[in-house]
Chain A
Amino acid sequence: MRHAKKRLIVASVLAASLVASLAGCASAGTGTDGKNGELTLWTHNGGNTEELAAVQAVVDKYNASQDKTTVKVQAFPQSSYNDSVVAAAASGKLPCIVDIDGPNVPNWAWAKYLTPLDLSVDLDENLPSTLGKWNGDTYSVGYYDVALALFARTSVLEKAGIRVATIDEPWTKDEFDAALKALKADGTWDKPLDLGTADVGEWYPYAYSPLLQSFGGDLINRDDMQSADGALNGKKALEWAEWMQSLVTDGYVAPKSGADAALDLENNVSAIMLGGSWAAGKLSTALGDDLSVLPLPDLGEGVKIGGGSWQWGVTSGCADPEAAMDYLSFSLSPENIADVAKATATIPATDAAAALVPGFEEGGDLALFREFSKQFAELRPETPAYPFISSEFTKATQDILNGGDPQATLDKAVKAIDGNIKSNGGYTQK
């Protein structure tokens, strides 16, 4: 019993002192970021070894280039990055520099998390889809964009008698439908087309709302961003919804695809895959010369793909915004942009940077993606309502793929979106 007593006392003292010391060391970092020449930068690259290393390299270069400011990198896993930022914002703990997924910029700008950029570099050189704007101000800038394309085996297309589409002559809707029919008839693939339907979250609006736009519909009426009525539930949108549903009912597409579209294409589980430029490297290694990279089909109103990837912004609570702007200006040099693009196999934001990245020169392997981005990229609507629209669109598309009534589903989404906009006073800045 003596021992038991001793142990208990030791244990409780140990525990108490641990908590005290933990509390002590952890709260050292509180207070507004940007004081004492120290800036913190948050990035969504937790676990993304290559991109994180590239960002870190830019930061290291900056820190070495001057002795006024030290920038510190804090990485978060991408899938929960937004939750982390929102929780931090709610408690006033945002760092000076944040990474933002492009379409969320207006929402954050409206909420006054961000301050308009004031940089010493000319942003006109950037691909339009690498800038985040709202209410006439630019709030964010990215090093790169990504582009969507269709990936297939050339041998498979030729065997099925399908024309290999080009950037100047993409497939028409009829051609695309016929191609899917031919592939399905071949019998090799249970579901010949992989749209990545298993990937929920931002993938749905990013990948599928451009298809809607190619039909002539949209997520919202962009003239005043006050209502989705007619855009998301009109005649064109209905055509899109019925077409999406027919892809499933005709057996071309799984309502919930495999966990990894690129691996399924590699293993010949699917014949055509809708995927991003980031998959190109892996697929080109696996399939070699047999890999075809095709533009998306023109479903009526021209080819559309999503634009806008991760970008950088400066928070309004930053104690030293000049320093943050200085870092961003420094980081946007063509060399830095090129280094990040090389590490991440993404599309460099400027022509000057693209010239420095092998593959993006005229006729290079990757130049095609930059062309796709330039010619087809359509930004998701620049409104603070976007996160809400995104979640409603995702749910509606899922329901449509799973056999929900297209008109009723779209009407429901429109009603929810319009209700949300109204209850937020139209998301106008007071």
Chain B
Amino acid sequence: MTTLERSARADARTATRAAKATRPARTPRQPLSRSGKKEQRTGWAMLAPAVILLGLFILIPAVLAFVLAFTNARLISPYPATFVGLDNFARLFTDPTFFRALLNVAYFAVIVVPVQAGVALVLALLINKQVRGTTFFRTVYFLPVVTSMVVVSLLWLFMYRQDGLINVLIDRVTFGLVQGPDWLNDPSTSMPAIILMSVWQGVGFHMVIWLSGLQTIPADLYEAADLDGAAGWQRFRYITWPGLSATRSLILVTITIQALSLFTQISVMTQGGPLDSTTTVVYEAVQSGFVQQETGYASAISLVFFVLVLLISFVQRFLTREKN
């Protein structure tokens, strides 16, 4: 089964291979029989709804965004949009806020990807053991995932106040020795605060993915390890970790794409501040497009973002490919 060796990453090459692998032995280049033609038609009929919908609601808007990026289109204006060439991009690349947004997103991703993946793995390891109340714990760890990010952001806004619950907790635990910062108002703590909350909210989801990986590691490997007297760290190091290799690359890609699109938390909690310390690329695009009514400029930001995500996906694929 070629699928067993296949990396689960959602990239084009893998998919291509998948499709090729499933091709039957007879070559499809030879003229189609009547039943073959019918199969073609049926296949297209089955494929059509999805392809049409994706084309209508992703491809066409994406092309529109691409075109708008080269115009001075505005959300509210009595005048039609005109072609302005690369003006929007010229402005974008001289805007310090945009570079700050790139930096922030990189900061967020660099921390969140390993931390969220790591904590999720620890949780999965804890949950994977049959302990009284496993069902309960699994549910509770997953609770933040089923709660809307808008609601979660509002709740944490309260908890991050200078006199909020987080700081009360810090005060109690350290017997008043450490005074917590004003989390969201200090440029040095605002992004860490957002990161903490995001990990809290999202970690349950990746816990479940790790869990799926853990549950597929054959039990006899552990039995053999037991016979050899291996325990704890060694079991993890030599059985669990290698057994999770495909899960690892999947988690890397999913968390990265999510991290790069950081928006909702920022919009509810900090609006990019203080002093641009939490602004992100998607937030800047939404801000320019809606609040400041500069549709063309916002589209240019989107376009750059799109290209960046593509680039990063390629780099990640390249890196994981090398390891394999």
Shortest B151–chain A CB gap in Å is 14
A398–B75 alpha-carbon span in the complex (Å): 25
Q: Which of B76, B272, B287, B294 has the most CB of A within 10 A?
A: B76
Assess the A424–B274 pair: CB atoms within 8 A: no
Assess the A111–B185 pair: CB atoms within 8 A: no
Shortest B147–chain A CB gap in Å is 19
A258–B159 alpha-carbon span in the complex (Å): 11
User: How many pairs of residues, A versus B, come closer than 8 Å at their CB atoms?
Assistant: 67
A429–B185 alpha-carbon span in the complex (Å): 42
Assess the B76–A259 pair: CB atoms within 8 A: no
Q: Which B172-223 residues have a C-beta within 8 angstroms of A?
A: 182, 184-185, 187
Assess the B76–A399 pair: CB atoms within 8 A: no
A256's contact among B79, B185, B187, by CB below 8 Å, is which? B185
Q: Which B238-276 residues have a C-beta within 8 angstroms of A?
A: 271-276
Assess the B273–A387 pair: CB atoms within 8 A: no
A402–B287 alpha-carbon span in the complex (Å): 20
Assess the B275–A404 pair: CB atoms within 8 A: yes
A403–B182 alpha-carbon span in the complex (Å): 14
Assess the A254–B76 pair: CB atoms within 8 A: no
With contact pairs A387-B293, A391-B287, A404-B275 given, residues A112 and B78 touching in the complex (Cβ less than 8 Å) = yes
B273's contact among A254, A258, A398, A429, by CB below 8 Å, is which? A398
Assess the A398–B78 pair: CB atoms within 8 A: no
Taking the complex as formed, is A423 at the interface, i.e. its CB lies under 8 A from any CB of chain B? yes
Assess the B76–A398 pair: CB atoms within 8 A: no
Taking the complex as formed, is A170 at the interface, i.e. its CB lies under 8 A from any CB of chain B? no
A387–B291 alpha-carbon span in the complex (Å): 7
Chain A residue at minimum C-beta to C-beta distance from B162: A254
Interface residues on B, range: 20 to 34
A404–B161 alpha-carbon span in the complex (Å): 21
Taking the complex as formed, is A110 at the interface, i.e. its CB lies under 8 A from any CB of chain B? yes
Assess the B291–A90 pair: CB atoms within 8 A: no
Shortest B249–chain A CB gap in Å is 34
Assess the B273–A391 pair: CB atoms within 8 A: no
Shortest B294–chain A CB gap in Å is 8
A317–B7 alpha-carbon span in the complex (Å): 56
Taking the complex as formed, is B93 at the interface, i.e. its CB lies under 8 A from any CB of chain A? no
Which residues from A are CB-within-8-Å of B187? 402-403
Shortest B132–chain A CB gap in Å is 37
Taking the complex as formed, is A360 at the interface, i.e. its CB lies under 8 A from any CB of chain B? no
Assess the A86–B75 pair: CB atoms within 8 A: yes
Assess the A200–B291 pair: CB atoms within 8 A: no
Q: Which A357-389 residues have a C-beta within 8 angstroms of B?
A: 387-388
Shortest A341–chain B CB gap in Å is 31
A71–B185 alpha-carbon span in the complex (Å): 47
Assess the A111–B291 pair: CB atoms within 8 A: no
Chain A residue at minimum C-beta to C-beta distance from B277: A402
A259–B154 alpha-carbon span in the complex (Å): 10
With contact pairs A402-B185, A402-B187 given, residues A255 and B76 touching in the complex (Cβ less than 8 Å) = no
Which residues from B are CB-within-8-Å of A402? 185, 187, 273-275
Assess the B292–A259 pair: CB atoms within 8 A: no
Assess the A255–B274 pair: CB atoms within 8 A: yes
B157's contact among A90, A254, A259, by CB below 8 Å, is which? A259
A111–B78 alpha-carbon span in the complex (Å): 4
Which residues from A are CB-within-8-Å of B291? 387, 391
Which residues from A are CB-within-8-Å of B276? 399
Assess the B292–A388 pair: CB atoms within 8 A: yes
A399's contact among B158, B275, B293, by CB below 8 Å, is which? B275
Taking the complex as formed, is B306 at the interface, i.e. its CB lies under 8 A from any CB of chain A? no
Assess the A403–B158 pair: CB atoms within 8 A: no
A429–B290 alpha-carbon span in the complex (Å): 22
A10–B72 alpha-carbon span in the complex (Å): 50
Which residues from A are CB-within-8-Å of B162? 190, 254
Taking the complex as formed, is A206 at the interface, i.e. its CB lies under 8 A from any CB of chain B? no
A110–B77 alpha-carbon span in the complex (Å): 7
Query: Beta-carbon contacts of A78-97 to B below 8 Å, as 1s and 0s?
Result: 00000100100110000000
Which residues from B are CB-within-8-Å of A398? 271, 273-274
Assess the A83–B77 pair: CB atoms within 8 A: no
A255–B182 alpha-carbon span in the complex (Å): 10
Which residues from B are CB-within-8-Å of A259? 157-158
Taking the complex as formed, is A107 at the interface, i.e. its CB lies under 8 A from any CB of chain B? yes
Which residues from B are CB-within-8-Å of A403? 187, 274-275
A258–B275 alpha-carbon span in the complex (Å): 19
Shortest A255–chain B CB gap in Å is 5
Which residues from B are CB-within-8-Å of A113? 76
Chain A residue at minimum C-beta to C-beta distance from B95: A416
Assess the A90–B75 pair: CB atoms within 8 A: yes
Which residues from A are CB-within-8-Å of B76? 86, 89, 107-108, 111, 113, 387
Which residues from B are CB-within-8-Å of A425? 79
B77's contact among A255, A395, A424, by CB below 8 Å, is which? A424
A423–B295 alpha-carbon span in the complex (Å): 13
Which residues from B are CB-within-8-Å of A404? 275
A387–B163 alpha-carbon span in the complex (Å): 34
Chain A residue at minimum C-beta to C-beta distance from B291: A391
Q: Which B127-161 residues have a C-beta within 8 angstroms of A?
A: 157-158, 161
Interface residues of B (CB under 8 A from A): 72, 74-79, 157-158, 161-163, 182, 184-185, 187, 271-276, 287, 290-294
* A–B pairs, 11, beta carbons within 8 Å: A83-B290, A90-B75, A108-B76, A111-B77, A254-B162, A254-B182, A387-B293, A395-B272, A398-B271, A399-B276, A402-B275
**6 closest pairs, A vs B, by CB?**
A402-B274, A111-B76, A256-B185, A391-B291, A255-B185, A112-B78
Given A259-B158, A399-B275, A423-B72, 15 more A-B residue pairs with CB atoms under 8 Å apart are A90-B75, A107-B76, A112-B78, A190-B162, A190-B163, A200-B271, A391-B287, A395-B272, A398-B274, A399-B273, A402-B274, A403-B275, A420-B292, A424-B74, A430-B78
